[in-house]
Homo-oligomer: A and B are copies of this chain.
Amino acid sequence: MTPDPMTELASDRAALQRSSTAERVAHILRERITDGTLQPGSRLPEDALGSALGVSRNTLREAFRLLIHEHLVVAELNRGAFVRRLSSADVVDLYRVRQLVECAAVRAFTGTDTEAPDDLRRAVQEGELAAKEDRWSDVATANMRFHQAIVALARSPRLDEYMRQVSAELRLAFHVMQNPRTFHEPFLGRNREILERLDAGDLATAADLLAAYLRDAERQVVAGYEAVQTP
């Protein structure tokens, strides 16, 4: 009755066609990790996974390398690969990176680029619409896009890529939040407020609002962590 992760993964086998095999395998595993099918702490045995996905162990190991670099997987020498389990110290660190980079991106915004604010606007609207229709996982996605659009204000491809990784890593922590609604709902209004301050050219206030926002979010996730750790 328990839905075996290995048999579930076997159905992904048909999906891998384009680009490098290792990258396709990494893509599949990345999705399975972020959507919670492969939970933090799970073993990733080379033999079982390799045959489930129909790739050799060598190729699978290359895929592991990709995910290890993204911090989604950890490899213990001679013990194999595991889905990363974040500590609350990791959560604190991730929010520290977010706060520093996102607030700096807001303050560095020159108004020259018109695209980035448009993405922000879309993300805010999308989040509000999804909330109205009770699609809370879509609210979470829209929220991720909001933060990505904030980073994009700095107009640095490398920072965009890096912060996408930070977001993916944070999703490992969100799995402890059992109720996505109570977590995400309060932030919808704050997202809009930040957007409005930005539109008004009041960068300092926008950055301060964002900093407070991130401080509160961090506090909630850390609290969720400690509720789980001490049963």
The chain A residues found within 8 Å of chain B, CB to CB, are 19-20, 58, 61-62, 65-66, 69, 77, 93-94, 96-97, 100-101, 103-105, 108, 154-159, 162, 166
A65 pairs with B69, CB closer than 8 A: yes
In whole angstroms, how far apart are the Cα atoms of A73 and B66 in the complex?
A: 14
In whole angstroms, how far apart are the Cα atoms of A61 and B166 in the complex?
A: 26
A100 pairs with B154, CB closer than 8 A: yes
Q: A58, A108, A156, A162 — which one has the most chain B CB atoms within 10 A of its CB?
A: A156
Residue of B with least CB distance to A105: B100
Q: Which chain B positions have C-beta within 8 A of A166?
A: 158
Partner of A156 from the list B62, B66, B93 (CB cut-off 8 Å) is B93
A97 pairs with B58, CB closer than 8 A: no
Q: A69, A104, A155 — which one has the most chain B CB atoms within 10 A of its CB?
A: A104
B97 pairs with A108, CB closer than 8 A: no
Partner of A159 from the list B19, B100, B105 (CB cut-off 8 Å) is B100
Q: Which chain B positions have C-beta within 8 A of A77?
A: 19-20
A-B residue pairs, 10 tightest by C-beta: A104-B104, A69-B69, A65-B65, A96-B156, A100-B104, A93-B158, A97-B158, A93-B156, A97-B156, A97-B159
Q: How far is the CB of A141 from chain B (nearest CB, A)?
A: 23
Residue of B with least CB distance to A108: B100
Q: Which chain B positions have C-beta within 8 A of A159?
A: 96-97, 100
27 pairs, CB–CB < 8 Å, chain A vs chain B: A19-B77, A20-B77, A58-B58, A61-B62, A62-B62, A62-B65, A65-B65, A65-B66, A65-B69, A69-B69, A93-B156, A93-B158, A94-B158, A96-B155, A96-B159, A97-B156, A97-B158, A100-B101, A100-B108, A100-B154, A100-B156, A100-B159, A101-B101, A103-B104, A104-B104, A158-B166, A162-B162
